[in-house]
Amino acid sequence: MSIKLIATDLDGTFLRDDKSFDAPLFQKVFEKLEQQNIEFAVATGVHQRRIDMIFKHFKDYPINFVTNNGARVIRSDNTVLFEKALPLDVLKDIQILLNHYQPRPDHGLVYATDHTAYMPRSNPKGMNQRYFQYFNEKKYFDDVDEIDQPIFKVTMNWQNHDESLFYHAAHQALGHRVHITETGTGGIDIVPAHVNKASGLKILAQNLSIEPQNIAAFGDGGNDLEMLNFVGHPYLMPNTRHKLNLLQDYQIVHNDNNHSGVLYTIDQLIIS
C-alpha cells in the first residue's frame, strides 16, 4: 500500500469525546510517518486557533492543515496555500436568513475568522460562552457591515431543533453561493461556495505532488463525505452517526475515537 499522505478529521474521529488524544502514541506514530516520508494533515471544520490549542505540545511538528471545512489550507512550513472568505453580500443574506428563521439558533451563532469570534449583539447573553476559549478575541456586531476581517465560516447550533430543516431552508435562500455542511458536532457550518475538505485536501496534495490514490483519510460525519470520496483509502469511524453515501469501498476503523482508533490504524497501515 503506497500511502504518501494521511488526513484526519478531529471531533468524533481523532479526538476522544473529551477533546483529548493519546499524546505519547501520537508522538510514536508521527515519528514513524516521518521516517517513511509520509505527510500528515489535520482536515477539520474548526479554525486554526482551536487546532493550535489541541496540538499545543506538538507545535514544532510538521503538520499540514485543512481548516474551516476547506476554507484555509496551510502547509507544514506555515505557507498558506489557499484561503477563501465569505463575500459581504453573502454574509448579508446569511444574516437576513438567520434573523427571520424560526427558531433562531439558541445554542451558538458565530461568524468566525481563524482567531476572532464575531457574534450578533442580539444573541442571548451567554449563548456562545462555550466558544470563547477557542478564540483569541470576541467581538459583537449589529450588522455584518461592521466586520472588518475575512469570515471563513458561519456556525450555528440549536438545542432542540432538527438542523436538517435549517439546512434545506439555507439551500433555498442561498443557493450555490455557499457550501452548507454539518459541523460534526451537531450544528451547521456555512462556508464559501465550492469549499469543502476535499477541495482543500486536493490543493494540499497537488502542492506536495501526491495523487489522490496515495492518500488515506479518516472521518465520521457529513462534512467528511467529499474528502472520503476523494481519497484512495477512505476510513470511516465505527461510532459514526451517519450513513455516508460513499462513491467507493471504504474500511471501518476497528477502534472508536475514545480508544485511539485512528492512531492504531495508521500504525498498522504504515507497517503493512
pLDDT per residue as tens digits for the range 168-225 = 999 999 999 999 998 766 689 999 999 999 999 999 999 999 999 999 999 998 889 8
Residue 134 sits in a domain of what CATH number? 3.30.1240.10
pLDDT of residue 107: 86
pLDDT score for 123: 84
Q: What is the pLDDT of residue 84?
A: 98
Where among 192, 214, 231 does a domain terminate?
192
What letter would DSSP give residue 230? H
Q: Do 116 and 65 reside in the same domain of the chain?
A: no
103 preceded by a cis bond (ω within 30 of 0)? yes
pLDDT at position 76 is: 97
The pair phi, psi for residue 163, each rounded to 5°, is -60, -25
Q: What's 14's DSSP letter? A: I
* 188/253 same-domain check: no
Domain end among 192, 227, 243: 192
pLDDT reported for residue 248: 60
CB atoms within 10 A of CB 243: 7
- Residue 171: which domain range? 88-192
Answer left, alpha or beta for residue 108, where phi above 0 means left and psi between -120 and 50 means alpha. Answer: left
Determine how β-strand 108-112 pairs with β-strand 116-120: antiparallel
CATH number of the domain bearing residue 249: 3.40.50.1000
Q: Are residues 164 and 31 part of one domain? A: no
Q: Are both 21 and 93 inside the same structural domain?
A: no
Residue 232 and residue 221 in one domain: yes
Low-confidence residues of the chain: pLDDT under 70: 1, 184-186, 241-249, 272
C-alpha cell read off for 83: 484561503
Asked if 101 and 77 sit in the same domain, the reply is: no
Whether residue 58 is found in the same domain as residue 183: no
Nearest to 123 by CA among 136, 109, 102: 109
| Same structural domain, 65 and 33 | yes
| pTM for this entry | 0.93
The pLDDT assigned to 244 comes to 55
Task: Specify the pairing of strand 72-74 against strand 80-83.
Answer: antiparallel
Q: Which of 163, 192, 221 delimits the end of a domain?
A: 192
Count Cβ atoms below 10 Å from residue 79 Cβ, excluding itself. Answer: 10
Tell me, what's the pLDDT at 197? 97
Structural domain total, the chain: 2
CB 162 within 8 A of CB 175: no
* One domain for residues 103 and 182: yes
Provide the pLDDT for residue 80.
Answer: 97
DSSP symbol at 253: P
Asked whether residue 34 falls in the same domain as residue 155, the answer is no
Same domain for 200 and 131, yes or no, is: no
Same domain assignment for residues 169 and 96:
yes
Half-sphere exposure of residue 71: CA atoms within 13 angstroms, side-chain side: 28
